[in-house]
Amino acid sequence: MPDDFQSTIEQRARVIATFKEELIRRLNLPYSAEDLHEDISLLGSGLGLDSLDALEIVLCIESCFKIKIPDQNIAILRSINTVVDHVLEQQARPGGAA
Amino acid sequence: MRSSLLKPQLAAAGASFRERHGAEVAARVAGRAAEYAAVRDAAGLTDFSFLHKFRAPAERGMDFLDALLAGNVPKIRFGRVLHTFLADDDGLLLGDCYVANNDEEFVFLCEGIAPDADLRALAQAAGAAEAGLEDLTDSHALLSVDGFKAWDVVREIFGADVLGLPYLSIEVYPFEGAPVRLLRAGKTSEFGYLLLAPQSVAPALFEALRAAVLKRDGCLCGVDAHDDLRLEGRFPNIQAEGLRVRDPLVLGLQWMIDLDKEKFRGRDAIHARRAGGLRRKIVGLAAEPGNDALVTGARIFHAGQPVGEVVADCHSFVLNQRLALAVFPVQLAYSGLSFRLGAAGGPVVKTISMPPIMPRSLTVKLDEM
């Protein structure tokens, strides 16, 4: 595999693993990390989390990855993948969190 | 072939019909693009009467449904709806299901991919008669109102009380003296309401909803537009990727399963596959604008080798590009990667994070109306 292809996978896999582990722990979800598909809807259908859970997810992201989630930006919280996209985007910015 | 109670109304409106697993469905009415736009910008009225529809008394029905379905039926609170699935003994999908705890009864809606006779035989073998399961499939119509303004349509018919219903809930409203069971549920990413109406009032309810939808610049819809809307919103579609893949684990439907349940149809097979580890996984794909070759059945290549297959596709009118779902080995099933479509040197397609759009309905707070 080309290096950039493989490094994209590795970078993304690390963020996914961290986020899933924290999500399961903080919300006491009855699933393993492998059970959670990255496109699963976090709010409403899918995991069916409520507004309190959404707040916990925001805190989880902010503490795990040292980044801020803009107020009212629910688009970021639509799925694990959309969260991971935001984290990677923030980390790629100059001076972004590691 | 089973036909809808509302076929005369749909035929008069110009609907084209086709068969789905022994039932006749209205595939298109106003045209795919117009129907899609109606749901995203206004409201669409769709006949979902082809679903299997049942009710069962609460006490006996709960155990029966719990033994059948992957989700946990006793945990459904009064007035709430569970989205789960029915599997066969091999743990492969047979039906996409809603189960509603409607106080004295459970309402069970099943979008099946098996012939009517097979599903009925399955239910009988599982103890449907002893559970008091009543088949409403032929005696009731099921209408779906979906869209950015769907809430306004149902408010006009049933009153402002409907605005207080949370997602995945059920309530009963009178219409011309008959009880209509209203489920707030949908698979388009926009507001969605399913209305289960007895035959005596179904045509009148259809006409009332149709008038309310048209008043808001919406239209009658067929199921083809819903296939597009479901994929774009990344709702599971048993008629598309579900039919082609059938393994709920590969499809990422673990959230529909209560993994602690000791008994449900297909449980042992699902748990055995889960214990063996996931080897394939479904991922979103997008083509460059103008590339129309991203279609179901197409193969996906990486480093000169076939690595995946497209299992569902649609044209996204919002994004103006083709979207798809494809099954990949888990080690390649990540968003943000480039692959080749159809051949080692084929056009580039990229894996994407789903859902790729932000529906307007998510910006509306009904409890503040």
**What DSSP string runs through B191-238?**
EEEEEEEETTTHHHHHHHHHHHHHHTT-EEE-HHHHHHHHHHHT---T
Q: Which range (A89-98, B184-193, B218-227) has the least confidence? A: A89-98
Residue percentage of chain B with pLDDT more than 70: 99
More confident position, A15 or A98: A15
Is residue B345 classed as helix, strand or coil in its secondary structure? coil
Whole-angstrom CA distances from B58 to B55, B64, B102, B202 are 9, 10, 8, 25
Would you call B144 exposed, middle or buried from its count of C-beta atoms within 10 A (0-12, 13-18, 19+)?
buried
The shortest C-alpha distance from B134 to chain A (Å) reads 27
pLDDT tens-digit series, residues B179-201: 999 999 999 999 999 999 999 99
Q: Which of B16, B267, B243, B297 is nearest to B111 (CA)?
A: B243
pLDDT tens-digit series, residues B77-131: 999 999 999 999 999 999 999 999 999 999 999 999 998 889 999 999 999 999 9
Q: Which pLDDT score is estimated for A95?
A: 72
Is residue B273 classed as helix, strand or coil in its secondary structure? helix
Residues of chain B contacting residue A29, judged by C-beta atoms under 8 Å apart: none
Q: Which residue of A has its CA nearest to B352?
A: A81
Please tell me the distance from the alpha carbon of residue B255 to that of residue B276, in angstroms, as a whole number. 18
Please tell me the distance from the alpha carbon of residue A12 to that of residue A14, in angstroms, as a whole number. 5
Which residues contact residue B138 at a Cβ distance below 8 angstroms, ignoring those fewer than 6 apart?
A: B2
Q: Do A39 and B354 touch (CB under 8 A)?
A: yes
Torsion sign (Cα): B125, B83, B1, B313: negative
The shortest C-alpha distance from A72 to chain B (Å) reads 10
State the average pLDDT over residues B159-183: 97
How open is the CA angle A67-A73-A75, to the nearest 5 degrees? 105
Please tell me the distance from the alpha carbon of residue B235 to that of residue B314, in angstroms, as a whole number. 13
A50 touches chain B (CB under 8 A): no
Give CA B271 to chain center in angstroms. Answer: 25
The shortest C-alpha distance from B282 to chain A (Å) reads 9
pLDDT tens-digit series, residues A5-39: 999 999 999 999 999 999 999 999 999 999 999 99
Whole-angstrom CA distances from B145 to B7, B203, B235 are 17, 15, 17
Q: What is the pTM of this model?
A: 0.95
CA atoms within 13 A on the CB side of B145: 32
Q: Looking at residue B80, what DSSP letter applies?
A: B
